Amino acid sequence: MICPHCKKELADNAQVCPQCGYNFLASVQKKGCGCTVAFIIFLAVIVGVFINWLIS
Ligand SMILES: [Zn+2]
């Protein structure tokens, strides 16, 4: 795989880039957290639309 920070070619199972110190585990966790936040916002929008539909 390629390091997204410094574009160095790394082993597929590398967890930290030896050149720039980019942490793949932290980036995966951050991505998962962002997904959860996006999902909660998506749910809130759906509930808001549903409540609007109920009221109207
Ligand atoms: Zn790197």
Q: How far apart are CA 51 and CA 53, in angstroms?
A: 5
Task: Tell me the pLDDT tens digit for each residue of 37-49.
Answer: 888 999 999 999 9
- State the distance from the centre of ligand 1 to the C-alpha of 21, rounded, in angstroms: 6
Residue 24: C-alpha distances to residues 7, 38, 40 (Å) = 13, 21, 24
- State the distance from the centre of ligand 1 to the C-alpha of 50, rounded, in angstroms: 45
Nearest to 38 by CA among 26, 50, 30: 30
pTM over 0.75: no
- Concatenate the DSSP letters of all residues of 24-50 into one string: HHHHHHHHHHHHHHHHHHHHHHHHHHH
Q: What is the pLDDT of residue 26?
A: 80
Task: Tell me the pLDDT tens digit for each residue of 28-37.
Answer: 655 556 778 8
- State the distance from the centre of ligand 1 to the C-alpha of 22, rounded, in angstroms: 5
Q: What is the pLDDT of residue 33?
A: 62
Confidence of residue 54 (pLDDT cuts 50, 70, 90): very high
Sign of the C-alpha dihedral computed for residues 4, 6, 12 and 14 taken in this order: negative
Q: Which is more confidently placed, 35 or 7?
A: 7
